[in-house]
Amino acid sequence: SRKGPRKSAARVLIDTREVQEIGDGVVLYEGKSKDRVRFRGRVAYDGTGFNGWQTQSKGRTVQAELEEVLSRRFNRRIIIVGAGRTDAGVHARGQAFHFDLLPGEINTTGDEMKLQLAMNSMLRRDTRVWNVSRAPTCVTQREHGSKAGHKWHVIYESTKKLYSYRICTALALDPKQRFTRCHICDGAVDLDKLRSALKHFEGSHDFRAFAGAIEQNERRTGKEMETIRTVYKVDLVDEGKGNYRVDFMLKGALYKMVRNMMGTALEVAKGRMQEQDLVALLNRIGDETRKNNRCKPAPPEGLCLERVYFSDGF
């Protein structure tokens, strides 16, 4: 088993970027990864048995298991980079990732499909990869008119993410949904209040009072974290029989941000918190932090990362 912290794959790519002019004013990055062929894919998983996405020293993680099957397949260590981390118990349907192979390890589209089938045969039944394919080269226009080419990167090329949180307000929850939907049984939920509270999150705000481990990370790194994030849209969807889904379309999220937003909005909907108090936390009128937000994050089983979006339609 792997010991110690995982070296950042993103940092490996950035630290080795050197530029070289080639024909037609195109600039390609060179470095340790220049001879590697980049592939990308999507992964769906039931997060019940996982300690989240990111590799850890203990417990199952999605990233570690994807790296394990790829490393076994090619008999060398292969690092996965993912967009949209999830924490323990959270699910995903369309999370995206990339990895690099050596030239010749995969040559055709048919080989890409064979690799996808091989990975799924090695993964446990609660995890499946799909849409495994060669990543395109990205070309951007520079100020002086030339073009810069660089390898597609799952984090930097993503444009937005869709998270969904599912709740049940009926007297009884369907047992088949107990790992994918949160049963609200500790108070009546006023749906009008819930919808109104959720709408406050739309737009660009400082979400420091809705994020976890901010102060700890700042003490560890000695740097202040940027906590302004943009939420494009929040919708409350009636799925029938007392079941509801809340869709969060956003640029990116801080640690536990979606669960904290949902947990705080539910407290408003239950009448345990005034709506103006939520707005005060969001606007940081008194320089509020997570310590000022006494609402618990919504349980992890209701949350799912539905999709990470890219401009090329991947």
Task: Please check whether residue 59 is in contact with residue 48, taking contact to mean a CB–CB distance below 8 angstroms.
Answer: no
CA atoms of 250 and 205, how far apart (whole Å): 12
CA atoms of 278 and 201, how far apart (whole Å): 10
Given 35, 87, 100, 277, which residue is catalytic?
A: 87
Report which of 263, 302, 257, 309 is spatially closest to residue 164, judged by C-alpha positions: 302
| H/E segment holding residue 231 | strand 228-240
User: Does the active-site annotation cover 87?
Assistant: yes
| Strand duo 158-168 + 182-183: pairing | parallel
Record the tokens describing residue 181, joined without a space: 């939907």
How many other C-beta atoms lie within 10 A of the C-beta of residue 245?
Answer: 17
How many other C-beta atoms lie within 10 A of the C-beta of residue 98?
Answer: 22
Catalytic residues: 87
